[in-house]
Structure 1
Amino acid sequence: MGGYIADLSMVAILIIGITAFMGVITNGFGEKVFGGKKRSEFVEQSARFQTQWKNVGGKKK
């Protein structure tokens, strides 16, 4: 019974892991191929907002 549960757990983890990895790869491929001019639209917008932020935490140099 313990072997069955171990096998089932390993197969489930592999299926979930492979599915998640394939999603990331497919998304990256889609952005590269079909992204066009607006490929980094959200990254650039986020960077524009963050230039106005003040730094907090850490040691001052």
Structure 2
Amino acid sequence: MADYFTDFALVALFVIGLTAVMGVLANGIGSGLFGGKTKDKYFLQSAKTQKGWNAVKRK
């Protein structure tokens, strides 16, 4: 019975992980191919917001 639950847990983790990875990949490919002029919208807005900020100096 323990083997059944182990197999069930492994398959469940695999299915959930595969679903999550496929969602991220599909979103990235979709925005890259079909994003048009707005594919860099959030990156450009973030760059505008951060314009003039001081760089963080690391040791």
TM bucket, shorter chain: 0.7 to 0.9
Aligned length: 59
* 1:28 matched residue in structure 2: 28
Q: CA deviation at 1:53?
A: 2.9
Structure 2 letter corresponding to 1:43:
F
Structure 1 runs not aligned, ≥5 long: none
- Between the aligned partners of 1:54 and 1:5, the Cα distance in structure 2 is 54
C-alpha distance in structure 2 between counterparts of 1:28 and 1:37, whole Å: 15
5+ residue gaps, structure 2: none
TM-score (structure 1 length as normaliser): 0.80
Percent identity for Structure 1 against Structure 2: 44
Instruction: Identify the residue that residue 19 of structure 2 maps to in structure 1.
Output: 19
Two-structure CA RMSD over aligned residues (Å) = 1.5
